[in-house]
Amino acid sequence: MIHNLVNEIKEKAKANPKRIVFPEGDEDRVLQAVNEIKKEGTAIPVILGDVDKIKWRAGELKLDINDVEMINPEHSDKLKGYAKEFFNLRKKKGMTEEKAIETMKDVSYFGTMMVHMNDADGLVSGTTHSTADTIRPALQIIKTAPGHSLASSFFIMIFEDKTYKLFADCGFVMDPNAEELSEIAISTADSAKKFGLDPKIAMLSFSTHGSASNPSVDKVREATELVRKKRPDLVVDGEIQLDAAIIPSIAAKKCPDCVLKGEANILIFPDLNSGNIGYKLTERLAHAMAIGPIVQGLNKPVNDLSRGCAVHDIVEVTAITVVEAQEK
């Protein structure tokens, strides 16, 4: 199922492709995705790793990527300069010059430094690296954007009836407080606008407009008020149960005064447990396509893949990363 949104994102990426670095050059799915990306023209890929091994494996897979730029961080003439910059960024945290050089030999750190130093426009990783392996370098080097105190993530969930919604945060922030939850909601609304969606935000809970009392409910209610205060231009309601957020007839019964009218297209989960479970239930039982997690709140685009991702997931997230880089 290829949704019009995916095609629209790819067309926008093709109009102004950006340099995207892939630290996991030893992974077949990455090489296959780069081959597809090159054909589609959505990005200018750069692959990190052992160049000889990458070329050999690409030949084994019968992939036409020999003209794609490949860099072995350990042999790069950029290594010392990147290490010096990393030392300057982290010396107050105890970083030494020797340790900085060793750290920059790591593909995740080298790739992130490429983005920081404008030698690449974005990074896509996560097929073999953990979320921490991908995001930790980004937080240490690229850091959060002005006005953001944290990085968060969202999934684009595309349904069989061709509609789609954004789910957040399903990948990063374990147990956000009210302030953090409000920032996740605002970041997701701003992300939604990049993809042509008019945001209608539901701050999810097991309670609707005071039907239950609990500290977790209070947190969601407070976060909702913070969103309204910070961004009066946004349509938001909460705390609200999922059914009342997305089904007009139930919204009419449970909360007739709700501004969402059962038409929420952004679902903000109260914690990572509910968010991660929610998107995977939707993906598996509703047969929705899940694109993401897409990272938001950083100075420059770095996106983390699921280790179980398919080649098309890498291709699609890369196109999104290009669009994010275009915005920057």
Query: Is 274 in the same domain as 311?
Result: no
Query: Is 175 in the same domain as 224?
Result: yes
Angle subtended at Cα 239 by Cα 235 and Cα 243, rounded to the nearest 5 degrees: 85
**Which burial class, exposed, middle or buried, applies to 262 when counting CB atoms under 10 A from its CB (0-12, 13-18, 19+)?**
buried
CATH number of domain containing 179? 3.40.50.10750
Query: Is 104 in the same domain as 208?
Result: no
Give a yes or no: residue 292 inside a domain.
Answer: no
Q: What is the pLDDT of residues 164-216, one digit of tens each?
A: 899 999 988 999 999 999 999 999 999 888 877 899 999 999 998 877 778 89
Query: Is 158 in the same domain as 244?
Result: yes
Task: Say if residues 34 and 22 touch (Cβ distance below 8 Å).
Answer: yes
3-state SS, residue 11: helix
Dihedral (CA of 74, 42, 275, 268) sign: positive
Task: Say if residues 206 and 232 touch (Cβ distance below 8 Å).
Answer: no
Give a yes or no: residue 95 inside a domain.
Answer: yes
Query: Is 227 in the same domain as 258?
Result: yes
Give a yes or no: residue 38 inside a domain.
Answer: yes
CATH number of domain containing 52? 3.40.50.10950
- pTM of the predicted model, to two decimals? 0.86
Q: What is the pLDDT of residues 92-105, one digit of tens each?
A: 888 899 999 999 99
Q: What is the pLDDT of residues 26-72, one digit of tens each?
A: 999 999 999 999 999 999 999 999 999 999 999 999 998 989 999 99
Q: Which domain holds residue 317?
A: 4-143+298-327
Query: Is 129 in the same domain as 181?
Result: no
Q: How many structural domains comprise the chain? A: 2
Give a yes or no: residue 290 inside a domain.
Answer: no
Determine the Cα–Cα distance for residues 131 and 152; give it in Å rounded to an integer.
12
